[in-house]
Amino acid sequence: MIGIDDLMMCSGADLYRYYRLSFPLQTTMDGIYITEIEYIGSGISYPQTAAPASSITAKNELFSSKNVAFDKSTSSGQWHDGTPSWITIDFGATTPVEATAVAITIGPMGGDPNMFSVECSHDNATWVTRLARSGVTWTSSNQRQVFNFTA
């Protein structure tokens, strides 16, 4: 089960340069175990190769994990410590995105996020919520779920 749509805004034709995956406080776990994030649009996935570290910023990440969130591999580990956090990728130019895919590892204390949002920006300062989900469930490690944006 993918979850309940709370909010979906913006036109499907809108193009943004920055995409941010945000997680509110996750009270039932000690961290969120994100193994891979992918943005999907126009029949291809972004980034197409491992994203350079300079194009990724994050709040509250652990280890070097912000870099491995976009490395095209699900063997990476914990992303953040369970406090409100986000991870942003700068594509360098406006990029058509229609969905986001998230893969997680179910950790020893939970670690599977049940709510998150995708926000978009032209300038990395003003953000628009493109997708918000709550009630998301995960059934296995490295499970990849795709969450579509709507027009």
- Cβ-based neighbour number of residue 63 at 10 Å: 12
**pLDDT at 121 exceeding the cut of 90:** yes
Q: What is the pLDDT of residue 127?
A: 95
For residue 20, list its beta bridge partners: 88, 119
Q: How many domains does the chain have?
A: 1
Q: What is the pLDDT of residue 26?
A: 61
**pLDDT at 3 exceeding the cut of 60:** no
Comparing C-alpha atoms, which of 47, 80, 50 is closest to residue 63? 80
Q: Which domain holds residue 13?
A: 4-148
**Percent with pLDDT over 70 in the chain:** 60
Q: Between 11 and 111, whose confidence is greater?
A: 111
Per the CB < 8 A criterion, the answer to whether 32 and 138 are in contact is: no
**Percent with pLDDT over 90 in the chain:** 14
